[in-house]
């Protein structure tokens, strides 16, 4: 069964994913907050350590009901990386159900 979504629905979905991921990440960003953006590197620009990075991924998994394999998580060093991955994963999840 294919469901057609309007452009507004897709935009709202994309904004919602980005907003939720950003909220999760900002709980851990303590340096250079004013410079935080989607493409800033979480570890080098904002000093997110490996433990915080794992916690961010765990929170994202819980928030969106998805599983992120460790090998994929290791490549997620910006908010844009995480948002793109979540959108793709949710899209795949929707088409499988």
Closest CA to 72 of 54, 59, 90: 54
Rounded to two decimals, the pTM is 0.84
Task: Write the Ramachandran bin of 61: left for phi over 0, alpha for psi from -120 to 50, otherwise beta.
Answer: alpha
What are 40-81's pLDDT values in tens digits? 999 999 999 999 999 999 999 999 999 999 999 999 999 999
What are the chain's domains?
7-96 (1.10.1200.10)
């Amino acid at each position: 069964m294919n469901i057609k979504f309007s452009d507004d629905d897709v935009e709202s979905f994309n904004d919602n994913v980005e907003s939720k991921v950003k909220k999760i990440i900002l709980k851990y960003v303590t340096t250079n907050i004013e410079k935080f953006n989607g493409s800033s590197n979480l570890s080098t620009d904002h000093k997110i350590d490996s433990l915080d990075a794992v916690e961010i991924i765990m929170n994202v998994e819980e928030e969106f009901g998805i599983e992120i394999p460790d090998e994929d998580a290791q490549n997620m060093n910006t908010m844009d990386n995480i948002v793109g991955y979540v959108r793709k994963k949710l899209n795949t999840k929707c088409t499988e159900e």
